Amino acid sequence: MKNEKKSSIEKPVAKVLHEPAAAYLRETQIVKIRQIGNSRGLIIPNNLINKVGIKSEVIIGSKDGVIFIEPLNREPREGWTEAFKAMRNNNDDELLLPDMFNDEDIEAYD
């Protein structure tokens, strides 16, 4: 077909990415790294943010030369129950500060 064009993104991405990364990256875009104070950052396109469901926080890391970003969508105090149970099972649930009040000495507030 004479009007069929390859995406302008496909060619550069294939050259830039190592084969293992290119294998699992289905939709790719090229974005510029920007200087932000003493750090550097990038702007994640809104379509990607919506697609993966990023709300306000992400987990960012690297492995084998590839940077990954995952949404950190959790509810407030999510996982606390399991953490407290694990602490109890490990006998790690003692107060670090002494109990400063004797409940018997406290008068009821009316």
Would you state the torsion angle of the CA atoms of residues 46, 50, 76, 83, taken in this order, to the nearest 10 degrees? -110
pLDDT at 41 (0 to 100): 93
Element spanning 34, H or E: strand 34-36
Q: What's the confidence (pLDDT) of residue 15?
A: 47
Residue by residue, pLDDT tens for the chain (110 residues) are 444 444 444 444 444 555 555 556 667 788 899 999 999 999 999 988 888 888 888 889 998 888 888 888 777 788 889 999 999 999 888 878 777 777 777 777 76
Rounded Cα distance, 41 and 69, in Å: 13
Q: Is the domain covering 21-71 a CATH 3.40.50.300 domain? A: no
- Give residue limits of the domains in the chain: 21-71
The span from the CA of 26 to the CA of 18, in Å, is: 14
Q: What is the pLDDT of residue 23?
A: 58
Q: Whole-model pTM?
A: 0.44
